[in-house]
Chain A
Amino acid sequence: MIIVGELINASRKSIGAAIESEDSDGIKKIAKEELDAGADYIDVNAGIFMGKEPEYLTWLVQQVQESVDAPCAIDSPDPEAIQAALAVHKGIPMINSISLEKERYDKLMPIISGTDFKVVALCMSDEGMPETTDQRMAIADKLVNSLVQNGISLENIYVDPLVQPVATNDRFGVEFLDSVEKIMTTFAGIHTMCGLSNISYGLPARKFMNQTFMVMAIAQGLDGAIINPLDTGMMANIIAAEALAGRDNFCMNYLKAYRGGKFKL
């Protein structure tokens, strides 16, 4: 399971403030905490600053990589911002994300084409938010094939089937879960990834719902997630679910986690 630490996101008040005040130590501390808690990638997002996103995103990558020896997930809908951040990123980054939205696709594809970058492929198109599994698969099909044709191998593609709030439509959980399963079985060697917390938007007790959804998604084959690695409950659920899904030889990770006190919640 690839864990992308989601905390360094400007839409979180403390991070927005840290960016504006150039609180380098603050950002570095969080990056280290996320890495120590098990993150494989550190997501960086400066998406609330109109016009300054490239500058702030670049700064975030620099702070993170001065603090930890880890790759970033460069998180922006703006190809310009991504490009700016790439100029300073050390090692192989994850690009979060590309979709079939024409403007975004046309600008971003040349940047990632033929590279070793990990690429999150978001199931969105100019036709709007997909609601059903079939709509998602139609987008995934086009998007994955064009990524492959542009020299990006399946092993580097993380399809995000788009999580939508179950509060607005009873079917939104199921359509997503079915999509994960279909994608994993349709494209051998591909990965799936998502930011789960959308599922609980508009409902109370969000943490609980997010954790439960994660377990269900892992059962369907999800093998990447953008989460808060400091959420011990979530991490414990992931470890147990992975073992139950047959992705933990001799339950080694599970036992290691137990001995590391990870199930003491």
Chain B
Amino acid sequence: MAEIKQVMLCGYGGQGIVLAGTILGKAAFHDDKWVSGTNSFGAAARGGACRAEVVISDRPVIFPYVIEADILVAMYQTAYDKYIRQVKRDKGIIIYDDNFVSPKEAGGLKYIPLPATRTAIEELGGEMGANIIILSAAVEITGLVTREALRAAVAETVFSGLRELNLKAVDIGFKLGEKAKVKG
């Protein structure tokens, strides 16, 4: 069986969830994987629980949506509450922004808190970039895509005025991810 990773990113519309999903999809594409990505495209994209789905596989993706997520990246409580049900029972990994999400932990699942928004405020001067920080940390922790591919995807997707800030966010995210890995 070819390996398939189903990833769901969720948060509040405006946090950059859809952008993070697009970047993850492009990064996997750079790694020569087959990819399918879908997003919230309604009013949720501008406030409310918002999600992006990315399916990454060694072979062509037949069903383009997440059936059961291997990895959930959550940036807001209401979105977390809505999408936690779609995480693979007993083996899913949940990576969440500790500023906005406090999960009731269930057995079998792995919960990894990350100070994405706090670090963005401290090191980047605002919440902008928190999405890229948590995405990069998730990549570091799970090995979903290569570091180089993620960096390239950020550079090509983000508009030039914010490219530097977002590439800085990538480095911050990788470091947070490394720390979280050491903690286990």
Same assembly: no
Q: State the A residues within 8 Å of B (CB).
A: none
Q: State the B residues within 8 Å of A (CB).
A: none
